[in-house]
Amino acid sequence: MAGTVHTEAYKKMLNALVEARRDAGLSQAQLAQRIGKPASFVGKYELGERRVDVIELLVVLKAIDADSQKLIRKLQVNLPDTL
């Protein structure tokens, strides 16, 4: 797969999402139920097989009651200048 999916910055975002879901005490299936998607939806984006757009990111963070601003600030550390 070409593009920015496999950049280190994107991998860090996925890792942060997985960590936030686990911190919320939710399985992939439980999160999927909260956002109205099949469990495979969560599994595929967590593995990097599916991209997460901004709206999806915000919905997931809301569903796990995570602070979106805190996650964005965390990701901004060492953010590359180019894609």
Beta-carbon contacts of residue 42 (< 8 Å; ≥ 6 apart):
21, 28, 29, 31, 32, 35
Domains and their CATH numbers in the chain = 8-75 (1.10.260.40)
Q: What is the pTM of this model?
A: 0.87
Percentage of the chain exceeding pLDDT 70? 94
**How many Cα neighbours within 13 Å face the side chain of 3?**
7
pLDDT of residue 1: 43
Has residue 5 got a pLDDT over 70? no
